[in-house]
C-alpha cells in the first residue's frame, strides 16, 4: 500500500497521463483545423473554402480529431497500465481494455436488473452515458483512470504467478486479463450505487474552484507551475481538463465534463458559435502571455545580465529554449536555467503565470487546447475567428515581455543571482560547468551518467518524460552531482532517497536510449 501512495507512484501516474494527452493534443489540432475550414466566417473571407473537396477534407479532419475526446476514458484505461508496469506492457494494455469494458458492462447489467436504465434522451439527467456501445454510469475520464490503476495493481501482483500444473496454461502474464475481467466486473456491480455520491463530491470541488471567480484561473496557473518541478503538475492538469472539477456542460445533447472536453465538444459541434469562457480559462489562452512573450523576455534578461565574456557561451542554450517554449510549448529548458540557482525567480514566474491566466480570462478571450504555443494561437485563436478575441493576446503579451524582462534583470543584478553566464569564471576555466560542456558522444555521455549515478549496481530503473530522465536508485546520496552537470544536465532534482530527476531538455529520449543501451 505504501508503494501505491508513494511520490514515485504519483509521478509515474502523471507521466502515464501524457500518452493519451499527447494524442489528444495532436488530434485537437486536426479538429481545430477542420472546424476552422468549416467556419462560415472564414468561408466568407475565402470563398474557395466552399469547394466540395475542401468541405470533404474539413469534415474528415474533424472526424479524426473528434476521436480523442469521444473515447478518452478508454484511452486512459489502456495507457495507464502500459506506462506504469515494467514488464509485459502489451499484456497490461490488453488487460486495461478488457477491464474497462467489463467494468461498464457489469454496471449496465446492474442498471438493467434494478430497472434503473434511463430512456434515450434522459441519459444526462440520470448520470448515464454510452461507452463502447454500452449504456452505463457516466464516470467520465475518471472511469478510465480508476480502471487503469486497478489493472496496474493486478498486473504487479499476478503477472508472474505460477498455478498448479493442471492450470499452468493460465499462469504468468496470461492470468492478468483473466483476473482483471473478474475483478473489474465486481467493481462494475457496485458502480451504480457508489458513484453518484463520489461524483457529487467532485462536482462540489469544481464548483468551489469556480466560485473563487477571477481567482480560479490564477490559482490553477500558479499551482500548475509550482507543481511542475516535482513532476506532479499532470495530476492537477488532468483533473481540470477531464473531470467535473474543470466544469460541466451539455453540448449537443450530451453531458461533458472537464474544461478540455467541453472545449473539444464545442469545437466538434457545428452549432457552436462561441466557446465557453469558463472552460477556456483553464486552457491554452492562460499560458500564452508567459509562453509566447514572458519567458522569452526572461531569456533576454538572463542574456543581458550575463558577463559580456560569457554571453556567447549561453546564447545557444537560451535561443533553443525560447524556440522550444514558443513553438512547442515546452518551457522546462528555460525554467530549469533559473529554478535551482534562483528559486525566488521561479516563484515570481509562477505568480506571473497565474496572473496571465487571470487577465486573459478577464478579457474574455476563448482560446482552447493544451499547449499555449504559437500553433495553438494560430489554430485555436486566429483561425477560429475574432469571437475568440485572439488579438488581445498581443498587447497583453507585449506587457508580459516587459514585465518579465525588467523583473528578471532587476532581481538577478540586485541580488547577484547565479543565472547562466554570471559565474566568476568563464566556462573554460570554471570547475563547475552546468550549462556549457565539452562535446560528448552519446555513448560517452551515457557512460558518464551511469558513473555519476553510482554505477550500474546503484541503478534500479531509468525512464523519461518530455525533458527529464526519471531515475530510481538504491541510494541517491552517492551520486556525483558535479559529474552529472558535466554531462549537459540543466538541473538535478532529488525527490527522496531513491528517486531522482535529471533535466536534459527535449532531446532527453536520446539520452535515455543511450543509457539503456549501455545498461543492457
Cell 556549457 belongs to which residue?
Answer: 436
Bridge partners of 315? Answer: none
CA distance 218 to 36: 29
Task: Specify the DSSP element, H or E, that contains 463.
Answer: strand 459-464
Q: Which of 97, 265, 465, 479 is catalytic?
A: 465
The residues, ordered by sequence, that sit 6+ positions from 333 with a Cβ below 8 Å of its Cβ are 317, 320, 321, 324, 325, 467, 490, 503, 505, 506
Bridge partners of 131? Answer: 134
| Length of the chain (residues) | 520
The answer to whether the beta carbons of residues 326 and 401 sit under 8 Å apart is no
The answer to whether the beta carbons of residues 104 and 132 sit under 8 Å apart is yes
Interior angle at CA 295, CA 243 and CA 26, nearest 5: 45
Bridge partners of 255? Answer: 250
CA distance 400 to 178: 55
CA distance 138 to 121: 14
Distances (CA, A) of 231 to 24, 210, 228, 319, 467: 20, 25, 5, 24, 11
Catalytic-residue membership of 325: no
DSSP state of 372: -
Closest CA to 310 of 483, 417, 416, 429: 429
Distances (CA, A) of 511 to 323, 333, 470, 515, 516: 20, 15, 11, 6, 9
Q: What are phi and psi of 172, to 5 degrees?
A: 65, -140
Just list the catalytic residues.
465
Amino acid at each position: 500500500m505504501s508503494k501505491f501512495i508513494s511520490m514515485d507512484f504519483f509521478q509515474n501516474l502523471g507521466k502515464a497521463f501524457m500518452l493519451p494527452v499527447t494524442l489528444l493534443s495532436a488530434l485537437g489540432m486536426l479538429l481545430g483545423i477542420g472546424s476552422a475550414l468549416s467556419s462560415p466566417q472564414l468561408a466568407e473571407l475565402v470563398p474557395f473554402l466552399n469547394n466540395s473537396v475542401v468541405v470533404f477534407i474539413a469534415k474528415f479532419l474533424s472526424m479524426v480529431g473528434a476521436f480523442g475526446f469521444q473515447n478518452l476514458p478508454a484511452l486512459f484505461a489502456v495507457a495507464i497500465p502500459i506506462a506504469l508496469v515494467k514488464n509485459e506492457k502489451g499484456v497490461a494494455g490488453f488487460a486495461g481494455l478488457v477491464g474497462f469494458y467489463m467494468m461498464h458492462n457489469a454496471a449496465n447489467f446492474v442498471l438493467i436488473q434494478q430497472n434503473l436504465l434511463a430512456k434515450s434522451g434522459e441519459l444526462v439527467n440520470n448520470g448515464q452515458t454510452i461507452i463502447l456501445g454500452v449504456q452505463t454510469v457516466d464516470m467520465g475520464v475518471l472511469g478510465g483512470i480508476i480502471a487503469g490503476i486497478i489493472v496496474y495493481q493486478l498486473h504487479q501482483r499476478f503477472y508472474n504467478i505460477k498455478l498448479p500444473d493442471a492450470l499452468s496454461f493460465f499462469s504468468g502474464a496470461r492470468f492478468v486479463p483473466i483476473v482483471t475481467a473478474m475483478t473489474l466486473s465486481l467493481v462494475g456491480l457496485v458502480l451504480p450505487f457508489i458513484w453518484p455520491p463520489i461524483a457529487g463530491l467532485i462536482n462540489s470541488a469544481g464548483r468551489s474552484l469556480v466560485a473563487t471567480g477571477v481567482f480560479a484561473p490564477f490559482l490553477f496557473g500558479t499551482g500548475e507551475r509550482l507543481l511542475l518541478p516535482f513532476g506532479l503538475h499532470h495530476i492537477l492538469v488532468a483533473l481540470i481538463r477531464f473531470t467535473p472539477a474543470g466544469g460541466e456542460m451539455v453540448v449537443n445533447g450530451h453531458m461533458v465534463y472537464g474544461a478540455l472536453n467541453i472545449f473539444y465538444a464545442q469545437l466538434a459541434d457545428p452549432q457552436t458559435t462561441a466557446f465557453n469562457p469558463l472552460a477556456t480559462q483553464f486552457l491554452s489562452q492562460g499560458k500564452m502571455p508567459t509562453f509566447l512573450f514572458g519567458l522569452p523576455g526572461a531569456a533576454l534578461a538572463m542574456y543581458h545580465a550575463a558577463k559580456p565574456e560569457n554571453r556567447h557561451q549561453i546564447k545557444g542554450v537560451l535561443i533553443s529554449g525560447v524556440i522550444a517554449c514558443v513553438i512547442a510549448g515546452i518551457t522546462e529548458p528555460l525554467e530549469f536555467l533559473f529554478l535551482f540557482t534562483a528559486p525566488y525567480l521561479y516563484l515570481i514566474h509562477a505568480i506571473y503565470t497565474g496572473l496571465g491566466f487571470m487577465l486573459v480570462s478577464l478579457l474574455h478571450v476563448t482560446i482552447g487546447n493544451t499547449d499555449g504555443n504559437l500553433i495553438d494561437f494560430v489554430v485555436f485563436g486566429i483561425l477560429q475567428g475574432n469571437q475568440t478575441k485572439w488579438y488581445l493576446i498581443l498587447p497583453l503579451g507585449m506587457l508580459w515581455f516587459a514585465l518579465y524582462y525588467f523583473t528578471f534583470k532587476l532581481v538577478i543584478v540586485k541580488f547577484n543571482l547565479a543565472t547562466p553566464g554570471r559565474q566568476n569564471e568563464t566556462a573554460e576555466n570554471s570547475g563547475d560547468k552546468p550549462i556549457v560542456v565539452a562535446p560528448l558522444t552519446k555513448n560517452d555521455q551515457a557512460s558518464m551518467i551511469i558513473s555519476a549515478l553510482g554505477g550500474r549496481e546503484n541503478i534500479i530503473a531509468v525512464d523519461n518524460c518530455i525533458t527529464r530522465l526519471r531515475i530510481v536508485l538504491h541510494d541517491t546520496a552517492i551520486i556525483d552531482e558535479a559529474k552529472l552537470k558535466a554531462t549537459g544536465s540543466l538541473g538535478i532534482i532529488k525527490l527522496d532517497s531513491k528517486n531522482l530527476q535529471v533535466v536534459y531538455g527535449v532531446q532527453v529520449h536520446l539520452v535515455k536510449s543511450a543509457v539503456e543501451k549501455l545498461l543492457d
